[in-house]
Chain A
Amino acid sequence: GENVEQHPSTLSVQEGDSAVIKCTYSDSASNYFPWYKQELGKGPQLIIDIRSNVGEKKDQRIAVTLNKTAKHFSLHITETQPEDSAVYFCAASMGYNFNKFYFGSGTKLNVKP
């Protein structure tokens, strides 16, 4: 079955530095890749997404890149702030389904003031 691998599992950065989280997927039919932020006691919240016909997407301090040939995608957060501290999950759509996902195992990001 589909496997989404996510690295690193934990990431500690100084406030103002950049953070990068990387994921790989195995289902070549996956064509939609959302990223979620999960804070303690809450459900995952969508922060950015990218479709397979796009190589890069940016939204203020957050950007996502996709290499469909290599089947990997990455989340980039610049100018990190303490409120960015949370667990981040990458996800890949189950084939062409836009509403069923395989999730990575998560990255716990700690931004030190």
Chain B
Amino acid sequence: ETGVTQSPTHLIKTRGQQVTLRCSSQSGHNTVSWYQQALGQGPQFIFQYYREEENGRGNFPPRFSGLQFPNYSSELNVNALELDDSALYLCASSLDLTPGLTPNYGYTFGSGTRLTVV
């Protein structure tokens, strides 16, 4: 059984740059959710993709954007990086029959990408 894999594991970027983070869903999962976890804090919901469409977004500016591909893998893109974007970025995949309205099956987190903006 493959879990959720994220790449890269660590990344250092300069303020103002753009970054792309990647997530491979667990086999059989069709939904990917992205979270930002600042140091010493709990994860904060960024957005979710279900069958390649955005399905809900948290309180994050438009410079945070995403994609989901036909194989259900996903990307998180952040433009115009700011120092406060430094965090652990987590993705979680799940199998959802009717998004959000039926119990999710196997909501599984990856180990995250540690982004440092300098």
Contact = CB atoms under 8 A, between A and B. Distances in A.
A104 B101 CA distance: 22
Contacts of B90: 43-44
B48 A101 contact: no
A40 B107 CA distance: 20
Interface stretch (A13-21, A68-76, A89-97): A89-97
Interface stretch (B14-22, B65-73, B74-82, B108-116): B108-116
A1 interface: yes
Interface of B: 4, 31, 33, 35, 40-45, 48, 56, 59, 90, 92, 94, 96, 99-104, 107, 109-112
Given A43-B90, A44-B109, A100 B56 contact: yes
Nearest to A4: B42
Nearest to A39: B111
Interface residues of A, number: 26
A44 B43 contact: yes
B109 A99 contact: no
A34 B92 CA distance: 14
Given A42-B111, A43-B92, 5 more contacts: A89-B42, A96-B100, A100-B45, A105-B40, A105-B41
Nearest to B110: A43
B101 A98 contact: yes
A86 B100 CA distance: 29
Contact of A99 (B42, B107, B110): B107
A106 B40 contact: yes
Interface in A48-101: 89, 91, 94, 96-101
In the A-B complex, the 8 residue pairs with the smallest Cβ-Cβ separation, listed nearest first, are A103-B42, A43-B109, A97-B100, A99-B104, A43-B111, A98-B104, A103-B43, A44-B109
Contacts of B112: 43
Nearest to B4: A43
Nearest to A97: B100
Nearest to B109: A43
B23 to A, nearest CB: 11
Given A43-B111, A44-B90, A99 B31 contact: yes
